[in-house]
Amino acid sequence: MMLRPGEIWYDTNGVPINAHGGGVLFHEGTYWWFGEHKIAGEEGNRAHVGVHVYASEDLIHWRDEGIALTVDDSPGSEIPTGCILERPKVIYNTRTGKFVMWFHLEPMGGGYGGARSAVAIADAPGGPYRFLHSLRQNAGVWPENLPEEWKHPLTDSEECELAALGLGGAPFPWYPKNVVFRRDFAVGQMARDMTLFVDDDGCAYHLYASENNGTLHVSLLDETFTQPAGRYIRIFPGRFHEAPAMMKWNGRYWLFTSDCTGWTPNTARLSSAPSIWGPWEEHGNPCLGSGAQIANSFESQPAFVLPVAGRRDAFIYMADRWRPGNAIDGRYVWLPVVFKHGLPVVEWRDEWELQSEWPA
């Protein structure tokens, strides 16, 4: 069966799949696709239902497994109807036997200013997931790749200068590269767009757009995967990468990201490093296609890279074609990662088939 990027995809009940900004967990022969459940209209950009989960054995036929994490309007809940709950990802912890979900959480009423991460856990892949906590990560910890001279809180004059800049989340050329993480040292680092990555040695990492989106952080999770372990690095300060999606191939870590332009698609970026701790380098735009497709990344923004189980060098690049005016109509752009001149890149296909891409 053909995959048609950008068209409406239906579940096995014939209902359009509702799992945006998502990620896929492969567990004991089944793929579990988690994503933001969106409703119609602009209001759909906020959480009204929760995290939707679908299951499949072949990546084509997706069974609706319901709502894995449900918004909760009980007193004290951190995930009430109308909060912002984005880019959920789930990983499995072999030590604890728990399924651990992380997502970007913006508490009610604060726009995107909260920049928090939230964690929920479950005993089975499809859930139900129980909200555990939300946090700002790595409070009181300096990044590992930071020269000694920057390891101090902001001076009074830096604080004034920073306040005058009125930082939001959008790029600008005079973004101060070594300031925002120092401002947040005591309260913990901001995290908006995010992904999780489990390495071959079982260590798990949280990668997130921090510092008012200006800088990515790569942060090790603790043994339970529910907290930061207190080791992290900053990468690409001032480059405003969003939408991180990571894969490991040919002994390197490869990171697909976008530029930072809200819901509007922009030009994607590829970076890599020989170790997750760096050194990281940028390679440019990984999208191949027509001029417009190259410029706007097939009208989409990365969400996740899915290794296809049992196939060598087989990865699916998953991206979202957002429809912010009618959020429920957002589309999925899944394309095979192809390798050219030693780089993983993404080539447009009107339609494609897993079997022909990666014969058994």
Least spacing, CB of residue 35 vs ligand DGJ, in Å = 11
Which residues make Cβ contacts (< 8 Å) with residue 251, sequence separation at least 6?
Answer: 274
128 upstream amide cis, omega within 30 of 0: yes
Q: Which two tokens stand for residue 64?
A: 């609706």
Write down the least CB distance from residue 309 to ligand DGJ, Å.
Answer: 27
Residue nearest to ligand DGJ (CB): 262
Q: Which of 3, 17, 21, 83 binds ligand DGJ (CB under 6 A)?
A: 21
279-308: contacts with ligand DGJ (CB under 6 A): 301
Whichever of 92 and 256 has its CB closer to ligand DGJ, that residue is 256
Instruction: Output the smallest distance, CB 328 to ligand DGJ, in A.
Output: 15
Cβ count within 10 A of residue 136: 18
Continuous H helices in 27-168: 156-165
- The length of the chain in residues reads 360
Edge-first strand order for the sheet with 215-221 is 194-198, 204-210, 215-221, 228-235
Question: How far apart are the C-alpha atoms of 87 and 268, rounded to whole Å?
Answer: 17
Nearer to ligand DGJ, 178 or 266 (CB): 266
With the CA atoms of 189, 305, 86 and 64 taken in that order, what torsion angle do they form, in degrees rounded to the nearest 10?
-150
- Is 116 an interacting residue with respect to ligand DGJ (CB under 6 A)? no
* 111 in contact with ligand DGJ (CB under 6 A): no
CA atoms of 301 and 323, how far apart (whole Å): 12
**Span 241-280, contacts to ligand DGJ by CB under 6 A:** 242-243, 262-263
Counting residues that bind ligand DGJ (by CB under 6 A) gives 9
CB of 242 to ligand DGJ, least distance (A): 5
Q: Residue 193 interacts with ligand DGJ (CB under 6 A)?
A: yes
CA distance 293 to 309: 28
User: CA gyration radius for the chain?
Assistant: 19
Shortest separation between residue 289's beta carbon and ligand DGJ, angstroms: 21
Min dist. Cβ of residue 114 to ligand DGJ (A): 12
| Minimum CB distance to ligand DGJ, residue 103 (Å) | 10
Q: Which of 11, 65, 86, 259 binds ligand DGJ (CB under 6 A)?
A: 86
Q: Which residue has the tokens 């995959």?
A: 3
The 3 state secondary structure assigned to 45-84 is HCCCCEEEEEEECCCCCCEEEEEEEECCCCCCCCCCCCCE
* C-alpha to C-alpha distance for 230 and 209, rounded to whole angstroms: 17
Q: Which of 46, 52, 87, 136 binds ligand DGJ (CB under 6 A)?
A: 87
- Which residue's CB is nearer to ligand DGJ, number 243 or number 255? 243
Least CB distance to ligand DGJ at residue 312 (A):
31
Cβ proximity to ligand DGJ, 190 vs 220, nearer residue: 190
In one-letter notation, the amino acid at residue 197 is F
Rank residues 59 and 243 by Cβ distance to ligand DGJ and give the closer one: 243
* Residues of this chain that bind ligand DGJ (CB under 6 A): 21, 86-87, 193, 242-243, 262-263, 301
